[in-house]
Amino acid sequence: MRQVFTLDLPASDATDAEHRTYSIMGSRHKANRRSIDIHSVDEIDPRTSTEPRIMNYFREQIAAAGGPLSSNEEE
């Protein structure tokens, strides 16, 4: 079954981001690299992400910039 997904993760460059995506999807879903099609790799503003690993990795930068831009739906 094919499913479209997005994944926010910290990486040093596009090649590193692709490698990490293959690694994560392979370990979580037992997907082979040949069965994963990556259509684009884009840099995002860490303040717009709700991924815990992004919020943890960039916590100092997010705090210095005035906090996250995404709305907290729990509040």
- What pLDDT shows up at residue 42? 95
Give percent above pLDDT 70 in the chain.
Answer: 92
- What pLDDT shows up at residue 73? 56
Question: CA quadruple 30, 31, 34, 39: dihedral positive or negative?
Answer: negative
pLDDT at 70 over 80: no
Q: How far is CA 32 from the centre of its chain?
A: 19
- What pLDDT shows up at residue 1? 77
Average pLDDT over residues 43-48: 92
